[in-house]
Every structure is written in C-alpha cells, then in structure tokens.
Amino acid sequence: MSSFSPHDDPGRRFAVIAESLYLANLLIAPGFAFLGLLWLWRRADVRALPLARQHLRQTLIASLWAGAMLGGLSAGILLIGGFTSMWSWFAVILYFIVFHSTLVLCGMVGLSRAISGQPYRFPLIGPGDPA
C-alpha cells in the first residue's frame, strides 16, 4: 500500500492547487480565487509540467465559461422576462442552482483526478489538450 502525498510530484501538486482554486472560485471566494488561477498561469515552471498545465488550462477556461454562462444567461433571462416577473426569477434561480451544481460536481471530479495524477477534461466546455 503506497501513501500518496500531492507534494511528491510538483506537476500533481500544481494540478491539485489549480482544481482547488477552481472550486474556491465557485464556492468560497469568487474572483479572488480566479485571480489566483491567473497568477498560477503566469508562473513559468507550471507550464513546463504537463499534468499541471493540462489541469490549469481546463480550470481557467472552465472558469471563464462558467462566469459567462452564469452571469450572461441569468441576466438574459431577467431582461427577456422582466425583473418584476416571478417566473423570470424562478427560471433564473432554477438555472443558476442546476448549472452551478453541475460546475461544482465537475470541479470535484477534476480535483479527484488531479489528486490521482490523471488528466481531466471538463465535459462540453473543456478544451482538448494540445500537448
């Protein structure tokens, strides 16, 4: 039985950090954790590690898609349906809860894959890995 520590492999460690920042961006510190992802991307040694680069690229693009889809479609529903209509708010809340929960679930799967040292691609919104 081997005991794994994410600190054993720097690529795995950075992949875990990237996935954790993605989840933090969705759950705890929106915006601040995204800035952490951007800061991590600017580190040259992270891009040299294939596993870290793959997870970091996935989380950055997924965060951009998540922000655009959560904010943009919610605003679009309210603009089309009106701010005073209870059905508009019902649709926004339902959409936000379902989509946000899906993004969190995908982030948890990504984190578990990063911990195990495996690559991960977000379904539908994740880019293919060019490396």
What's the mean pLDDT when you consider all of the chain?
86
Would you say residue 5 has pLDDT above 80? no
| pLDDT per position as a tens digit, 31-83 | 999 999 999 888 767 667 888 888 998 999 999 999 998 889 989 999 998 88
Instruction: Please tell me which residue, 110 or 11, carries the higher pLDDT value.
Output: 110
Distance CA 57, CA 105 (A): 18
Q: Give Rg (Cα) of the chain.
A: 17
pTM for the full predicted model = 0.84
